[in-house]
């Protein structure tokens, strides 16, 4: 999930950056212990919206980067030939900003690098110390989860029975859930920092990265509290763009009309239901364990209200795996309602989002459900920045009766 979030953030930053921002020079001088030659790479989002990738030659364990930035920005640094990797001993991130900076790192131990000259990075290090207890607990749980998930992937490659795969996947998810308390503590510490530091570039970065895990009203309140200085940064603009996207997919907004071929190859348009039915847009995926767990209850709701003017359109994030999508629909016995894909298209240079329904409705996490009334107006959002999914039951009972 984190990888998907960060990739989405980079796309938003590219769309929101502006060439009118004032460019300021930086020079970063670094040393790397236990590595005397080769290349070291760095990447960051520039003011004009381009993602800059640079490299420097390591000479006798030293290197230099020069460039421009308009505001402090999270950058990566790595010695991997194929670029930055998450949870990798030779990759790390830090806050790059204007001025003279120094960076000291050890090969195969990038996690403990030292950065000097970046006030924003100093803030980041201080916050990480405050979250150390929760982070340590999460690190242990994440390692358990990684091993459990790898066991699931190995079994999948060996084409083990579906029943065995389900058990392994459930085991991995149960381990992940063990970290809920630590994640909540870490999140609260970050939120308090944001509220008490409204003029900090770190604060707006944190708010942007945490947005998928907060309510729309909370995000709106945090954004309103920021100073104009940080609002004008790439993270500030990206955060606002994300808020606007979720607002477009929240109660009170007119639901964006889409037309797609459904799972059977037939044409389907949201406009077909206007004036006749309430429609629940269920954003899910075959690989999403919480989504699949909720399908039996969703099926019971459908059977309860389908004859009273209720329809469901499942919108699956399985654009690159149609087989898994169709298999999940069949296994969960949810083929009784409509099914389409999100419309995300992979291209030679990245992704084509011109018909991407999830972006239109501001979908930040799965599962997310959006209820549209007979007039085409959104009257409920559940999960992904909205209410709890349990509130959907209450809304449907209010509309259709018990």
Looking at residue 9, its pLDDT comes to 44
User: pTM for the full model?
Assistant: 0.83
Cα gap 205→10, rounded to integer Å: 12
Instruction: Go through 325-347 and write b for each residue having 16 or more CB atoms within 10 A of its CB, e for each that does not.
Output: bbebbeebebeebbbbbbbbeee
List, in order, residues 6 or more apart from 143 with CB less than 8 Å away.
Answer: none
Domain ranges of the chain: 2-116, 132-248, 259-400
98 to 18, 73, 101, 124, 131: CA distances (angstroms): 17, 10, 8, 17, 27
C-alpha torsion sign, points 242, 204, 21, 2: negative
Q: Do domains 2-116 and 259-400 have the same CATH topology?
A: no
Looking at residue 349, its pLDDT comes to 72
pLDDT in tens, the chain (402 residues): 333 333 444 444 444 444 456 889 999 999 999 999 999 999 998 776 678 999 999 999 999 999 999 999 999 999 998 889 888 999 999 999 999 999 999 999 999 999 999 999 999 999 999 999 999 999 899 899 989 999 999 998 998 998 898 899 889 989 988 999 999 999 999 999 999 999 999 999 999 999 988 889 999 999 999 999 999 998 999 999 999 999 999 999 999 999 999 999 999 999 999 999 999 999 999 999 899 999 999 999 999 999 999 999 999 999 999 999 999 999 999 999 999 999 998 887 778 888 999 999 999 889 999 999 999 999 999 988 888 889 999 999 999 997
Beta strands in 225-377 (DSSP E): 259-261, 267-269, 278-284, 310-316, 338-341, 345-347, 350-352, 368-372
Asked if residues 33 and 106 have their Cβ atoms less than 8 Å apart, the reply is yes
Asked if residues 202 and 127 have their Cβ atoms less than 8 Å apart, the reply is yes
Looking at residue 49, its pLDDT comes to 66
List, in order, residues 6 or more apart from 30 with CB less than 8 Å away.
Answer: 40, 56, 62, 63, 64, 65, 102, 103, 104, 105
Phi-psi region of 83 (alpha: psi -120 to 50; beta: other; left: phi over 0): left
Phi-psi region of 99 (alpha: psi -120 to 50; beta: other; left: phi over 0): left
Asked if residues 72 and 26 have their Cβ atoms less than 8 Å apart, the reply is no
Class of domain 2-116: mainly beta
Domain over 259-400 is classified CATH 3.40.30.10: yes
Cα gap 131→124, rounded to integer Å: 11
Nearest to 95 by CA among 63, 139, 127: 127
259 to 49, 325, 368: CA distances (angstroms): 31, 19, 20
Looking at residue 39, its pLDDT comes to 96
Neighbours of 147 (CB within 10 A): 11
Cβ-in-10-Å burial (0-12, 13-18, 19+) of 300 comes to exposed
Asked if residues 320 and 288 have their Cβ atoms less than 8 Å apart, the reply is no
Cα gap 279→392, rounded to integer Å: 12
Looking at residue 384, its pLDDT comes to 82
């Amino acid at each position: 999930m984190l990888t998907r979030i960060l990739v989405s953030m980079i796309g938003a930053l590219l769309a929101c950056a502006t060439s009118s921002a004032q460019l300021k020079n930086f020079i970063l001088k670094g040393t790397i212990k236990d590595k005397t030659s080769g290349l070291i790479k760095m990447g960051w989002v520039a003011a004009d919206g381009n993602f800059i990738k640079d490299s420097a030659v390591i000479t006798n364990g030293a290197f230099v980067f020069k460039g421009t930035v308009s505001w402090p920005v999270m950058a990566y640094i790595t010695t991997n030939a194929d670029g930055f990797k998450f949870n990798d001993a030779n990759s790390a991130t830090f806050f790059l900003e204007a001025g003279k900076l120094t960076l000291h790192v050890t090969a195969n131990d990038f996690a403990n690098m030292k950065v000097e000259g970046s006030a924003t990075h100093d803030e980041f290090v201080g916050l990480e110390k405050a979250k150390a207890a929760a982070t340590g607990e999460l690190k242990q749980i994440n390692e358990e989860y990684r091993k459990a998930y790898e066991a699931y992937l190995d079994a999948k490659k060996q084409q083990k029975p579906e029943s065995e795969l389900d058990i392994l996947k459930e085991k991995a998810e149960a381990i992940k859930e063990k970290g809920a308390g630590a994640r909540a503590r870490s999140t609260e510490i970050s939120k308090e920092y944001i509220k008490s530091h409204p003029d900090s570039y770190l604060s707006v970065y944190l708010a942007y990265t945490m947005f998928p895990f907060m309510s729309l009203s909370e995000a709106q309140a945090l954004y309103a509290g920021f100073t104009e200085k940080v609002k004008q940064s790439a993270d500030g603009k990206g955060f606002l763009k994300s808020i606007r996207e979720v607002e477009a997919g929240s109660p009170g907004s007119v639901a964006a009309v889409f037309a797609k071929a459904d799972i059977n190859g037939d044409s389907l348009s949201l406009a077909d239901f206007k004036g006749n039915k309430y429609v629940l847009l269920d954003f899910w995926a075959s690989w999403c364990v919480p989504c699949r767990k909720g399908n039996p209850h969703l099926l019971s709701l459908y059977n309860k209200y389908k004859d009273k003017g209720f329809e469901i359109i499942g919108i699956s994030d399985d654009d690159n795996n149609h087989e898994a999508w169709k298999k999940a629909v069949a296994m969960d016995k949810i083929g009784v309602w409509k099914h389409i894909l999100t419309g995300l298209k992979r291209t030679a240079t990245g992704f084509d989002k011109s018909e991407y329904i999830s972006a239109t409705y501001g979908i930040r996490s799965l599962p997310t459900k959006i209820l549209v009334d007979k007039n085409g107006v959104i009257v409920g959002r559940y999960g992904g920045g909205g209410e709890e999914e349990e509130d959907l039951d209450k809304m449907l009972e209010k509309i259709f009766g018990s």
